[in-house]
Amino acid sequence: MGIDDSGAESDWGISLTSDTATPTGTVLDTFERAVDMPAGVWDALLTADDFYLSSPWLAVVEATARVPMRYVIARRAEAATAALATALLGTDAPWTLGRPDTLLDHSVAEELAGAAALRATLPDDLAGALLPSLVCGGRHLGRTRIGLSAAANRADLGTMVEEAERIAESRSARSISYLYLDGRDHLLRELLAAQGYLSHVSAGYCWLPLPAGGFDGYLKVLSAHRRRRVLAERRRLLLEGVDVRIEPFTPAVIARMAELETRLFAKYGMSSWRVEQSEEFLHQVHDLLGSRAVVSIARAGGEIRGFGLLLRFGDQWFAHRTGFDYGFQRKLPLYNEVLYHHPVEVAESMGIVAIHYGIGSTEAKLLRGCKSVPQYSYIRVLER
C-alpha cells in the first residue's frame, strides 16, 4: 500500500521524540510510543500482510510486553517513505522464539539452514554475546520488515538500516537483529548482508489463500485423502454435540479463554505462565482492537471447549491465540475445526480472502492447503 500524500501533512503535528535530517535530505521522526505516532501515516506504509506492524497492534504489544520500543518514520518532501519498529530485548524477554539467542539455538536444534554455521562463530555464552539486542521490524514471529511506500527506494531503506544501528549504539545494545525477514524481502536482505549481518533460516511462515466457493472450494484444493478426512472429522464433532461459531470477542469469554490458553502453554512447557497474564493480554486486545477481533469458539455441554482468536486487518484474518479443554477434547479434532474448517467455511461471507497461521508446524499446515515461505534471521554483533 502506498501512502496517500493528501492526508499526510496534517498528521505530523504531534509530539516527537526527535526530528532529525539526514545527509540525503530525509527527515527521521522518532517516537517512543505508538500512541504518539501519526497512525494514518504509519499504517499507509504497510501491506495487507502487516497486521502485526499496524498501529493498533503495536499499542497492544506495548501494553503487555513492557520492553523499550522506538519507532521511526522517514519522510522526503513531507511524504513518508519508510517505517521502522524496534524493541530492546534482554534476558528477561519470555518468548524464546522472539530473541536472537534462543531463536538461534532453537534453529540449530531444528537443523535449519545456516544456523549451526552461524552458532559456531559466536561464544558459548550466547545471551552474553547478543543481549540486549535491538530487534528490528517488529516483535512478532514471522514477516518482520521495514514498511515502505510505493515511492521508496534503496536509499530510503538504507537510511532506516543505519538509523537502527544508531539506536542500538545509543541504547548500549550488544547486537542488532531482524529475526524473521521474509524470503521475498530481497532488497533488505541484500542490504543487511552487505553490512556484515550473518543469517540463518529461522522458520517457515504459512498462510491460507481462500479459493472462491467457500468450504466446497477449499475442499477442492485438498487431496482426495485429506477431503475424506476433513468431512469425517466434521461428522464426528457433530455427533459429539460440538458447536463451532465465529462470535464477537467480548469480555464475557475472556476468563474461560485465559484458562484454556494457560492449559495449552503448560502442555508445551510454559508451566510458569499464569492465567492472569493471559487475562491481561486478552483484555488489552479487546480494548484496543474492538470489533477487529473475533473468536472462533467450540462449545459442548454448555461450556467453551476450545477457541481461536482471529484478528482482522483489511480483508485478512490473523490467527493469534488458541486454547483447548484437553479433558474434554481427548482425540476430538477440535483444533482443525476451530482454527481451519469453520473459519474457512464462513470467511467468504465475511469478506475474508486469506487466513494467516504464522510460523511452526509447516508440514501440517501445507497439508491443510497453506502456502509457505522461509523466514531468515539476520544478526550483527556490535563491538563493545
Domains and CATH numbers, the chain: 5-203+375-381 (3.40.630.30), 211-352 (3.40.630.30)
Quick one: average pLDDT of 218-243? 97
Please tell me whether the peptide bond between 333 and the residue prior to it is cis, using omega within 30 degrees of 0: no
Helix runs in the chain, H state only: 39-44, 55-65, 100-109, 115-120, 126-130, 154-170, 186-194, 214-221, 224-239, 254-267, 275-289, 326-329, 334-336, 342-347, 362-367
Torsion region of 58: left, alpha or beta (phi above 0 gives left; psi -120 to 50 gives alpha): alpha
Band (188; pLDDT cuts 50, 70, 90): very high
| CA distance linking residue 344 with residue 337, whole number of Å | 9
pTM: 0.91
What per-residue confidence (pLDDT) applies to 18? Answer: 47
For residue 48, count other CB atoms closer than 10 A to its CB: 12
What per-residue confidence (pLDDT) applies to 21? Answer: 53
Please calculate the CA angle 32-38-41 and round it to the nearest 5 degrees: 125
**Average pLDDT value over all residues in the chain:** 93
For residue 109, count other CB atoms closer than 10 A to its CB: 10
For residue 179, give the H/E element and its range: strand 175-182
| CA distance linking residue 127 with residue 104, whole number of Å | 11
Per-residue pLDDT tens over the stretch 272-309: 899 999 999 999 999 999 999 999 999 999 999 999 99
Band (78; pLDDT cuts 50, 70, 90): confident
Task: Give yes or no for residue 58 having a pLDDT over 80.
Answer: yes
Confirm if 180 and 202 have CB atoms less than 8 A apart: yes
Band (3; pLDDT cuts 50, 70, 90): very low
Side chain identity at 97, as an amino acid letter?
L
- The grid coordinates listed for 327 are 479433558
Dihedral Cα 302, 306, 289, 99, nearest 10 deg: 150
Backbone φ and ψ of 301, nearest 5°: 60, 30
Band (120; pLDDT cuts 50, 70, 90): very high
Band (5; pLDDT cuts 50, 70, 90): very low
* Residue-wise burial string across 337-373, b where 16 or more C-beta atoms lie within 10 A, e elsewhere: bbbbbbbbbbbbeeebbbbbbbbeebeebeebbbebe
Side chain identity at 171, as an amino acid letter?
R
Quick one: average pLDDT of 142-169? 96
Band (163; pLDDT cuts 50, 70, 90): very high
Band (20; pLDDT cuts 50, 70, 90): low
Band (23; pLDDT cuts 50, 70, 90): low
Quick one: average pLDDT of 354-377? 97
Sequence-separated (6 or more) residues with CB below 8 Å from residue 97: 103, 106, 141, 203, 359
